[in-house]
Structure 1
Amino acid sequence: MNGELEEIREFLDRCPDLAPLPAASRDAFVRRLTLRYLREGSTFPPENEPGLWIVRTGTIELRDDRDTLRDRLGEGDLVHVPEAPSHPLGPVTEDALIYHLPLERARELAALDGSIAQVLAADAQRPLSTDGATHGHGGDNRLLTTPVRALMTPHPVLAVSTLSLREAARLMDRADISALLLHTPDRPGEPCGILTDTDLRRAIANDIDPETPVADSMAHPLTTVHRGTPAFEALLCMARHDIHHLPVIREADDTLAGILSSTDLIRHQGTSAVYLVRDLRRADDLEGLKGIMQALPRLQTQLVDSGADALQITQTITMVIDTLTQRLIELCERDQGSPPCAYAWLASGSQGRHEQTVFTDQDTAIIIADDGPKGADGWFEALARKVTAGLDACGIRACPGDVDPTHPDWRRPAADWAREMERVLQHPTPRDAMLATHYLDMRVIHGDASLFEPLHQRALETGARHEALLSTLADQARDLPPPLGFFRQFVLEDSGEHADTLDLKMRGLLPIVAMARVFALHAGSAARNTVERLRAAARAGVIHEATADNLVDAWLFIAGLRARHQSSQVRSGQAPDNALDPAGLSTLERSHLKTAFRLVSDARKTALADAERVHG
């Protein structure tokens, strides 16, 4: 091999996607590559030519048909273009030398060498995708995308609310329905309430006169959905409100179109989210809650198998844990007696952001009304100890950082919380940056929301005005680099129980979470969920829409990969965690994961500075 070919071979040895190949496979490339020069501002690939392209020097951006940045190629990166694209894939942003293996030669090599075939299958130009099938985890995702109109019962029975309970029961029996929609005499065709089998049983159990007007027993106001609502969203709506029937209305005029029941959803695709939440709300003691929560890992596995994306999975798991917490509090109030004054139980961290999975811990707090009697704190301390212990018994681990209301710092009267939040947000020390992240992520999951929401709004306003906080949080985000080293190699944990693995939460998700928090604060957004924060920041012009899209895609992919990893552990009887061995990923998954980390790294370098300039 002459000197020029030897130089090419040495370069290929350093390419992240080619270095793992056998030496003979890399040798097969050397004599078949041609070198092309692409000037800055030109389009890639030149003449829309397909094949395998390997960047020797320079930079090339890959964009989709909406001009959204999907990847940025630099030295050592490759992209397989399996057919002539109908339009350029992106611009050359820095003069580039690039090796080209024509498509026919690439196919010849792939036919002879399985290792090369795998490289070609890892199509780096493919946009980050968040659906399970793309990443080798196929599943039926019909429940996620099927509109409610395809599942609902059209032309539901609608009756006047002056009917007696007896007449309503007879009508439901004749029509063989489990729910009857009702309207007032003066507004026919416009439902105002609903009577279900459960309502009828409750009326009979309470010895209500069968001749009583049904209006006295119906549920109202109604919770409704539009015909185009995805069925999965309807499922979450039922679970949040602990209901099993949803009137469906038309988008154009809000008139009644049909009714959807949980049975319709279960028939379409088995799922236990609604029943899991129902069972938690009906549990009468801690032992009952513990037994029900054993189904949570199976629920996550079922969601993964159905093709749910990371946002749907984490919102569903969070909803279940919210319900568990609420029921534990209700049981404690039953045992301890009525609270001495108004209060609210707060969730922070991943629960506050609606981003939990089955492997999670507690980040909670209590805010107490200022008019509480002397000694009231003792009641709330007892509540905190019982609820946090109950959560731990049900599989939601105690917070290793002591962020829970058994500690006085996380159990305060409203005035104390106001002073503490003002102090932290106006003059933050490095330790206060951690406190600030918790305060900004907090939300009420039980109790009097009016105690906390004004404080949260003031915190957002204070934070957006104070450069010290914005700068401290931005520094915190910069101190969380994604685990991608030189030549795009993964940086793995180097010691401890999870050595040689990737911590998908700490190294993958938290850098995005931290950036989204800063961007949302710049934008003055009250959003808590990471995806919502990124989209709000883009709408406010704090970051470019393409940057937000890239970070949302990266979050969805990494969080989805974590959910699938945990579900795989559940199936094999292991305890779920965040530690992923990248050696177990397919070539395509490794490529996507590297692309996701790279997008995060690029945003870390540029978007934080852009946000600070916009705010300034």
Structure 2
Amino acid sequence: MPLSQSQITRFLKSVHPYDALPEDVLEDIARRADIQDVDADAQLYDLGHTLPGVFLIYEGLVEITDENGAVVSQLGLRNSFGERGLLRNGKAATRASAQRASILIILPPDLVQDLVNSHEIVSRFFNRTRGDRSGPQSLATSAIDVLMARDPATCLPDTPVPEAARLMRDKKISSLCVTNADALLGIATLRDISSKYVADSLPPDTAISEIMTSNPITLSPTDIGSDVLHIMMERGIGHIPICKAGQLVGIVTQTDLTHYQAVNSAELVRRIAHADSPAEMATVTAEIPQLLVQLVAAGNRHEIVTRLITDIADTATRRLLTLAEDKLGPPPVPYLWLACGSQGRQEQTGVSDQDNCLMLDDSVTNGDMPYFQSLAKFVSDGLDVCGYFYCPGDMMATNPRWCQPLRVWREYFNGWIAKPNPEAQMLASVMFDLRPIGGTFELFADLQANTLKAASSNSIFVAHMIANSLKHTPPLGLFRGFATVRSGEHRNTLDLKHNGVVPVVDLGRIYALQGQLTEANTRARLKAAEAAGVLSPSGARDLLDAYDLIAESRLEHQVRRVKSGAGPDNYLPPSDLSDFERSHLRDAFVVIKTMQSAVGHGKGMLG
């Protein structure tokens, strides 16, 4: 059935984004478009083939399958396909076939490019990459690599204090990094000289190592400016050395922080770090929803927003640990408090429960355990007061199972790896997101490295973990629709946590396991997986784009809830979305389903 140009023009007026184009542009599209009349079961293109253009379905039904033959989408009237492959490299990343006799309008590549170059709404529709949005370049979002002073002044540990003081005077600086062959040993400041050297009248030949702060807190060039502010506010320090692979590469001081962007979140951190009770802290954490609104409204990317919000939870946890020790006395043996779940991954939003555990030094005795049970209860109760509610699954340090000596933790992980039953899969998934928060961090280092090595080399365990990771599926329905929640309080909504974000979190965890990657943050895992060759560049780009879109949609939904006076949640009614947003969100879900299919078929990389 041939289509007239007027029929094509009328049709385009009913399809986004062409419905927003002027009449003369639509007429030009109609003149340049190709028409394809295909029979049922006809293959339109195969994996890796050169695409003839973007397809619009005027009539019929088309099925899209991935490289493994899994159906990722069934498309009907007014749906389009082929855009992603056409703009990426001109090659098909999927297969397409007609399920019944169909009439297709094909927009040739040169026409698509003209439309993208000339019309912003078309450009936005086709270029779905949100990962290249820079957002506001402020202190909060700038990498430390941009903020730090490079080649900081240094001295050797045996340098006499007067010589170090003259060096600071001559260079007009307030601190010196003490190094040995570029390895950072400590930092000495003018305050150290006045309070330790001058005030105590130490001899002139006193070495700088005698008054320096040994093993100072450091950050890496890839951390962000808010990390600097939050540490400075919490610890009351004004100088932070920057190290890469153990080597000193720069320093950030208070005088370097000339922007204002992170003041709001940093102020919450400061107030929590000086609070004297959980109730006082709760008055601060109650401001998190409004902070969420401000951060999203300012255009911050989702990983920046969740990082800033997680920093507040980390500070609250450390402050509660301090208050607990003030109440209970010093701990009988070293311990480490760790977070898992969204806090462990630094991905907290406006609604979070608590997931945590305690690792104790192996010298702990039965007589010491009541102390740590009391400490766990104090901190967990305090977090609940602050709005980080008790974990429904009791994944908390108050559960004796998750408050154990390091040797027991090793037994846990070894047992889960050796016998990956359903409970082991679930627990291992949670525990692979562990991140130290407060205490003796050394307790975790060897455990993490050894566990990743043992787990990644056990093919049966990896297979079970992959199967477990595929239990959360994107909410894709047939005919370009969504599979919404079927019943209960959130009926007819999309669960953007369990069916949106969690599938990507699970994939990131699998890639980290396969590559023995130590990152806990999902976005960092995906990037590290690409760098390690576990995930192909195109697969990483597609999955990052999809994740960014879903995660930002989730935050925008929470912001709308807060603005309306309701509490933030993860349940988005599709009716809240425009046609434009629905189209892109569904495409993001299709990408995730495709990546899940690749992992499920034993293909860690997607070309």
TM-score, normalization: structure 1? 0.74
Distance in 2 between the 1:79 and 1:475 partners? 29
**Structure 1 stretch 216-225 or stretch 410-419: which is displaced more?**
216-225
Residue pairs, 1:12-161, within 5 angstroms: 35-36=35-36, 43-46=50-53, 77-78=79-80, 88=90, 93-94=95-96, 98-100=104-106, 124-130=125-131, 140-143=136-139
Residue pairs, 1:144-293, within 5 angstroms: 180-182=174-176, 193-195=187-189, 215=208, 219=213, 233-240=224-231, 242=235, 243-246=237-240, 260-262=252-254, 265=257, 267-269=259-261, 271-293=263-285
Residue pairs, 1:303-342, within 5 angstroms: 303-342=295-334
* Local SS of the residue matching 2:126: coil
Q: CA deviation at 1:302?
A: 3.0
Gaps of 5+ in 1: 22-27, 63-70, 107-116, 134-138
Q: Deviations over 1:468-524 (max 9, x none)?
A: 322222222222110111012122212222222211111101111112222221222
The change in CA–CA distance for 1:608 and 1:523 in structure 2 (over 3 A counts) is farther
* Local SS of the residue matching 2:366: coil
Contact 1:164-1:210 within 8 A present in 2 as well: no
Q: CA deviation at 1:128?
A: 2.7
Could you say which residue in structure 2 is the equivalent of 1:525? 517
Contact 1:569-1:575 within 8 A present in 2 as well: yes
Could you say which residue in structure 2 is the equivalent of 1:457? 449
Q: Deviations over 1:415-441 (max 9, x none)?
A: 222222222221122122211112222
**Structure 1 stretch 392-401 or stretch 536-545: which is displaced more?**
536-545
Q: 2:434 aligns with which of 442, 445, 454?
A: 442
Distance in 2 between the 1:601 and 1:437 partners? 20
Distance in 2 between the 1:538 and 1:151 partners? 27
Distance in 2 between the 1:126 and 1:301 partners? 26
Residue pairs, 1:191-590, within 5 angstroms: 193-195=187-189, 215=208, 219=213, 233-240=224-231, 242=235, 243-246=237-240, 260-262=252-254, 265=257, 267-269=259-261, 271-590=263-582
Q: CA deviation at 1:464?
A: 1.8
The number of equivalent residue pairs is: 559
Distance in 2 between the 1:470 and 1:237 partners? 37
Distance in 2 between the 1:123 and 1:529 partners? 28
The change in CA–CA distance for 1:598 and 1:405 in structure 2 (over 3 A counts) is same
Contact 2:55-2:80 within 8 A present in 1 as well: no
Distance in 2 between the 1:568 and 1:261 partners? 37
The change in CA–CA distance for 1:346 and 1:545 in structure 2 (over 3 A counts) is same
* Local SS of the residue matching 2:393: coil
Could you say which residue in structure 2 is the equivalent of 1:110? none
The change in CA–CA distance for 1:599 and 1:370 in structure 2 (over 3 A counts) is same
* Local SS of the residue matching 1:444: strand
Q: CA deviation at 1:194?
A: 4.9
The change in CA–CA distance for 1:469 and 1:17 in structure 2 (over 3 A counts) is farther
Contact 1:156-1:181 within 8 A present in 2 as well: no
* Local SS of the residue matching 1:272: helix
Code of the aligned partner of 1:98: L
Distance in 1 between the 2:93 and 2:498 partners? 33
Contact 1:181-1:195 within 8 A present in 2 as well: yes
The change in CA–CA distance for 1:489 and 1:339 in structure 2 (over 3 A counts) is same
Contact 1:59-1:75 within 8 A present in 2 as well: no
Q: CA deviation at 1:400?
A: 0.8
Could you say which residue in structure 1 is the equivalent of 2:41? none
* Local SS of the residue matching 1:433: helix
Contact 1:34-1:99 within 8 A present in 2 as well: yes
Q: CA deviation at 1:372?
A: 1.7
Code of the aligned partner of 1:294: A
Contact 2:139-2:225 within 8 A present in 1 as well: no
Distance in 2 between the 1:604 and 1:374 partners? 45
Contact 2:186-2:216 within 8 A present in 1 as well: yes
Code of the aligned partner of 1:553: D
Distance in 2 between the 1:343 and 1:254 partners? 29
Contact 1:121-1:588 within 8 A present in 2 as well: no
The change in CA–CA distance for 1:53 and 1:129 in structure 2 (over 3 A counts) is farther
Contact 1:343-1:367 within 8 A present in 2 as well: yes
Code of the aligned partner of 1:427: K
Taking only the aligned residue pairs, the percentage that are identical comes to: 29
